[in-house]
Structure 1
Amino acid sequence: MSTSIQSIGVDAPARDYQTAPALVFEPFDLPQSNQRQLGAPHPLGTTIPLALRPSPFRIENINLDDVITTVKELQSQDKVLTKLLALHGALLFRGLPIHNADDFSRFSHAFGYKPHEIIGIVVTRPVLAPNVAPANKAPKEVPIHSHNESPQVPHAPGYIFLYGHKAPSRGGETPMSSSIELFRRVQEEIPEFIAELAEKGLRARITYKNEPQYPGGSTLKEAFGKKIVDGDDLATRRSKIEAQIARYGRGIHTTWEWLDNDEGIVVSHHLPVIRTQPGTKLPTLFTGLASYYTRKGQVEQSYGDGTPIPNRYLKRLVEITEEIRVLHRWEQGDVLVYDNIIAQHGRQPWEGEQTDRVVMASLFDGDEVPGAYGEADWAQVVQALEG
């Protein structure tokens, strides 16, 4: 399988090459089960993922400081890695000296992105290192279908970093696929579904309660209560929660209703499923509908006008997603980086113990949010307000 670039690196003539050779990332091929050429409208020969590793030149001397310096220099040179992400959707880095959460944190921050704050989190994410948390900790038997991160809320990360700290011997792969290719396929096969999504958008209703609703789920306080302190009365707590919800900046397109007996709150968002990639303006299906169809949870989803989405559309969406995805087989130390606007990820079940697979995640904002598809005022998302 051909890759679309030559080796990338930074010339460093001022360095002492005997002690600190310039680091070069070279593309390499993966098995066809783990890498594929993307379909239209991607340029011919574009692979997902683009797999990169350090050049064999003096590889025994590689250290994390050299890797970080090279990443920073590549990003300073017209954001080379960001542009590769915008083309391929996902990058795989293999063979780097990353051994723990702190190493992973340093590597991911080297890209220069702003750490993403999850507003309205629905799962618990304990902090392991700066801007690093465990990936989804659902039971190992539970598959997580391909999705863009945080499609059910207005404020989603631009980039997702995943680090394979421990890989199971069988299973546990991470799917990857193109949201741009997905849009094209769905438009060709079920254009009436695309037309309805463009006209109506999506209504996501998320229930947050005072206690977790499932193992690993978040509480209302974890989702919106970062300003709450001991001693706050009911009115104050609610005011602080509502202020956090208002940070989405969506006005009338985000509403909420309090449950009886102070049990929690239901937050509703009118959101675009179809968004556009900055720069190319290509439409992308930014969605978790396939995951929602295969695994019900605390999020209810319908068309933006409240009418149900026909199961025949969702069923075919799942099938197309599985047709165009590849499964990343983890090796210890691998790092996957996703452009969340145009690439989807997920998780396959694995055999053995729950602890046999340890994947960590780090989320970052992009410089731009995805653009609108159409003229409706609900069709444009915005960066969340500070607070």
Structure 2
Amino acid sequence: MAESSLVEIQIPQQKLFNRIQFPAVVGPSPSSVPFTLSLFIKTIQTQKPFIQSVLHKSGAVLFRGFPVNTASHFNDVVEAFGYEELPYVGGAAPRNNVVGRVYTANESPPDQKIHFHHEMAQVPEYPTKLFFFCEIEPKSGGETPIVLSHIVYERMKERYPEFVERLEEHGLIYTRILGEEDDPSSPIGRGWQSTFLTKDKFVAEQRAAKLGVRLQWLDNGGVKTVMGPIPAIKYDESRQRKIWFNSMVAAYTGWKDSRNVPEKAITFGDGKPLPGDIVHDCSRILDEESIAFPWQKGDVLLVDNLAVLHSRGSFNPPRRVLASLCK
């Protein structure tokens, strides 16, 4: 009987960067026995070195053609990798726990685009790996575009060397006003109680302090959070290259709701405002270099959060994409 095995396959949306396909796409070998969920999980465990090498080379791996049908199945797949879970403390997106270590990806309305960002780049403790799972494929739109961070850094450094130099010197300050409760009408609508996993202001202050976040309580029960200065450019030790590790474009163009004004949400680390024309041009570069594939039911996407930024396109429901964060 043939053994179960994984092989790299191709989809039309991939791009080549330095002769490496982005993202890598992995499917069942044609010579494999038909995959069951338990066989897929066992194969992940036995072929993890192969998967790790593909992830390190490409930055993102799409698993397609495997029998992953429910949130519970997805949780089993995430567990099979053996990565430690990262609690979602300090993130901005409104999210609900579904099962185990699986959450909804973002509860914001479907007509809203979520701009490119590294997950939780605005706090010191961020996930190194992200999993996404398509439980219900979108009627239309709703892709999760991804882009290689070092490519963005290289293009920005070439076009705006002085701006990038200032970013490297000063970093960024992120400012966000949170209500008490979650606001699902906003892509950054997570209230302070779920952000810090408590209803106690003193406990919230303690947990914020551990993240390096300063809190200023407001009369309406909300709170102003100030994070930074925090580096906007990092060095990826494992790949030996600089990366564009920040949520600058997402904050400047998308942190908008009844409480927040995007232009005030992010500044240089010295408090000076960012040049809007450069931020918007960076957004164009992100779009130019990105790839977006239509989700198919059962798809699992593994993303190296240091190597890759991600976003979300607007969509026509139904769509259900779930996520899991790993240390």
In the other structure, the counterpart of 1:246 is 209
Match of 1:71 among 34, 44, 59: 44
Structure 1 position 261, deviation (Å): 5.6
SS in 2 for 1:163: strand
In the other structure, the counterpart of 2:35 is 62
Match of 1:37 among 10, 16, 21: 16
CA distance in 1, matches of 2:15, 2:80: 28
The answer on 1:282 being equivalent to 2:241 is yes
SS in 2 for 1:138: coil
In the other structure, the counterpart of 2:6 is 25
The answer on 1:349 being equivalent to 2:314 is yes
SS in 1 for 2:97: coil
In structure 2, give the amino acid aligned to 1:36.
K
In the other structure, the counterpart of 1:331 is 296
Structure 1 position 295, deviation (Å): 1.8
* Segment of structure 1 superposing worse, 301-310 or 275-284: 275-284
Structure 1 position 213, deviation (Å): 4.7
- Please, which runs of 5 or more residues in structure 2 have no aligned partner? none
In the other structure, the counterpart of 1:200 is 170
SS in 1 for 2:69: coil
CA distance in 1, matches of 2:38, 2:197: 38
The answer on 1:46 being equivalent to 2:20 is yes
Larger C-alpha radius of gyration, 1 or 2? 1
CA distance in 2, matches of 1:246, 1:339: 27
Match of 1:258 among 217, 229, 237: 217
In the other structure, the counterpart of 2:305 is 340
* Native 8 Å contact 1:256 1:268 kept in 2: no
In structure 1, give the amino acid aligned to 2:182.
P
* Native 8 Å contact 1:175 1:326 kept in 2: yes
Match of 2:192 among 195, 201, 220: 220
Task: Write the mapping of 1:1-387 to structure 2, written as runs, cut at 5 A.
Answer: 17=1, 21-31=2-12, 34-38=13-17, 44-59=18-33, 61-75=34-48, 79-213=49-183, 215=185, 217-226=189-198, 228=199, 237-248=200-211, 250=212, 254-260=213-219, 262-297=221-256, 298=260, 300-351=265-316, 354=317, 356-365=318-327
In the other structure, the counterpart of 1:374 is none
CA distance in 1, matches of 2:222, 2:73: 41
In structure 1, give the amino acid aligned to 2:45.
K
Q: In the TM superposition, what whole-angstrom CA distance separates every residue of 1:274-327 from its partner, at most 9, and x where no partner exists? A: 011132231100122222233233471110011001012101101111111111
* Native 8 Å contact 2:94 2:108 kept in 1: no
Identity %: 28
Q: In the TM superposition, what whole-angstrom CA distance separates every residue of 1:90-127 from its partner, at most 9, and x where no partner exists? A: 10100111000010011112111111111123233221
Give the 3 Å change call, closer, same or farther, for CA 189–55 of structure 1 in structure 2.
Answer: same
Give the 3 Å change call, closer, same or farther, for CA 223–24 of structure 1 in structure 2.
Answer: same
Q: In the TM superposition, what whole-angstrom CA distance separates every residue of 1:78-100 from its partner, at most 9, and x where no partner exists? A: x3322322221110100111000
CA distance in 1, matches of 2:26, 2:299: 10
Larger RCO, structures 1/2 (Cα 8 Å, 6+ apart)? 2
Structure 1 position 58, deviation (Å): 4.4
* Native 8 Å contact 2:175 2:224 kept in 1: no
* Native 8 Å contact 1:154 1:269 kept in 2: no
SS in 2 for 1:114: coil
Structure 1 position 190, deviation (Å): 1.1
In structure 2, give the amino acid aligned to 1:49.
P
Structure 1 position 265, deviation (Å): 4.0
Give the 3 Å change call, closer, same or farther, for CA 47–104 of structure 1 in structure 2.
Answer: same
The structure 1 segments of at least 4 consecutive aligned residues displaced by more than 4 Å after TM superposition are none
* Segment of structure 1 superposing worse, 162-171 or 322-331: 162-171
CA distance in 2, matches of 1:281, 1:159: 18
Structure 1 position 26, deviation (Å): 1.0
* Native 8 Å contact 1:276 1:282 kept in 2: yes
Structure 1 position 361, deviation (Å): 0.6
* Native 8 Å contact 1:176 1:328 kept in 2: no
Q: In the TM superposition, what whole-angstrom CA distance separates every residue of 1:247-293 from its partner, at most 9, and x where no partner exists? A: 22x4xxx4332223643343332211101113223110012222223
CA distance in 1, matches of 2:53, 2:321: 25
The TM-score with structure 2 as length reference comes to 0.92
* Segment of structure 1 superposing worse, 159-168 or 204-213: 204-213
Structure 1 position 187, deviation (Å): 0.8
Give the 3 Å change call, closer, same or farther, for CA 186–327 of structure 1 in structure 2.
Answer: same
CA distance in 2, matches of 1:314, 1:47: 28
Q: In the TM superposition, what whole-angstrom CA distance separates every residue of 1:118-172 from its partner, at most 9, and x where no partner exists? A: 1123233221111101111221111112221112222211111111111123211
